Amino acid sequence: MRTAAPIEHITVLGAGTMGSQIAAICALSGYRTTLVDIADAPLDQAKDLLWTRLERDVDKGRRCAKEVAAAQAKLQFATDRDAVVASTDFVIEAAVEDLAIKRQIFASLDAVAPAHAILATNSSNIVSSQIASATGRPDEVCNMHFFNPALVMKCVEIVPHELTSLQTMECTRILAESLGKEVVQLNREIPGFVANRLLNALRKEALNLIDQDIASPADIDKAARDALGHPMGPFELMDLVGLDVVYLIRLAEYEQTRDEASLPHPQIQQLYEEGRFGRKSGRGWYDYASA
């Protein structure tokens, strides 16, 4: 059972876009933070991208240089996960959306993390009950779902499973609010949570419209922006998030529901198989090579 000891050290697992930005948020908020990955290369890349972005924010007046310098001093990078986790208070896992991999990670975390440490997953779709059962501390496991780009987006969804303790939920809520986030707290878990279920309904209809050749992705995006006031349309958003991520999220939901309606749309599957992941690969629904 978690004690009332304050959170001083946060460990973030996974140096991809989400994990690195979550780690930066924690450091910017004054927490001693360690970003962990299995190799030095992704950590070096994450460090370069983060410092470049934060220094650009300073140049544009979005952040002060003192704040960024303090965050740089607070944020460490490491490959020895067990050594880092052994002295942490809160873990945020941001690895690939694969249930088997997440269960392996959480079983390993459980073996080395202090008894009071909360183990949270940033998964946007996989419910934590399927991960918590790999540990001996299911009461200290929950979803803490940030949104991309985590340095900008204000919302964090906190999702309990049946065995998550009220103390874990309260501690996670307090942490999220201390990071400057607005908390959406679910009463119980459901694949996709709240925001992604709303988003998926919009995405599903957008894909239905192109299936029927009603309008192009560009015009559907224009309608979402200019008629509905969305910052970007559904196809632009898929390209930003990454079509590989979209594809894997749909597969993860299917693994949980066994509902064929959860499977990736055929055009998303085709783009995934062609390696057209969106902005990160230069092509997705749109071509960014000449942008």
**Residues designated as active site:** 124, 145, 157, 196
**Residue from 158, 182, 187 nearest 90 by CA:** 158
Backbone dihedral angles phi then psi of residue 81, each to the nearest 5 degrees = -60, -50
Residues 90/114, Cβ–Cβ less than 8 Å? no
Residues 122/140, Cβ–Cβ less than 8 Å? no
* Assigned token pair, 12: 């973030």
Residues 189/127, Cβ–Cβ less than 8 Å? yes
How far is the C-alpha of 15 from the C-alpha of 291, rounded, in Å? 26
Buried b (16+ CB within 10 A) or exposed e, 113-146: beebbbbbbbbbbbbbbbbbebbebbbbbbbbbb
3-state secondary structure of 270: helix
- Say which residue the tokens 């279920």 belong to: 197
Residues 226/216, Cβ–Cβ less than 8 Å? no
- Kindly give the interhelix angle for 266-273 and 243-257, rounded to the nearest 10 degrees: 130
Residues 64/58, Cβ–Cβ less than 8 Å? yes
Q: What is the CA radius of gyration of the chain?
A: 19
